[in-house]
Amino acid sequence: MPANTLTDMILGFSVIIGILFLYILSLTLRFKQEKRKASLKNRRNIA
């Protein structure tokens, strides 16, 4: 009979998906910040 490791499996996949989600979120936020900086720079150049 296989060992009862269902909780460990759920924890394992949660950690994998969680890290990926956090990294994607960090990429999105950093890109938005850079985009904001770029548009500010463009506005200053036009002014």
Partner 1 sequence: MINKPKLLTVFDILTALTLLGALALILFWTPVEITMGPVQKVFYFHVSAAWAGMLAFVAAGAAGAGYLITRKLHWDWVSLSAVEVGLVFGLIAILSGMIWAQPIWNTWWVWEPRLTTTAIMELIYLAYFILRSSLETPEKRARLSAVFAIISVITVPLTFFSIRLFRTIHPVVIAPGGGDSAFSMTPCMLRAFLISLGVFTILLVDLFWHRYRLAKLNYKNQTGEN
Helix, strand, coil tally for the chain in percent (to 5): 85, 0, 15
Rounded to the nearest whole angstrom, what is the least distance from the CB of residue 28 to partner 1 in the complex? 8
Q: Tell me which residues touch partner 1 (CB under 8 A).
A: 2-6, 8-9, 11-13, 15-16, 19-20, 23-24, 27, 30-31, 34-35, 37-38, 41
Rounded to the nearest whole angstrom, what is the least distance from the CB of residue 39 to partner 1 in the complex? 8
Residues 20-42, buried b or exposed e (16+ Cβ, 10 A)? eeeeeeeeeeeeeeeeeeeeeee
Rounded to the nearest whole angstrom, what is the least distance from the CB of residue 23 to partner 1 in the complex? 5
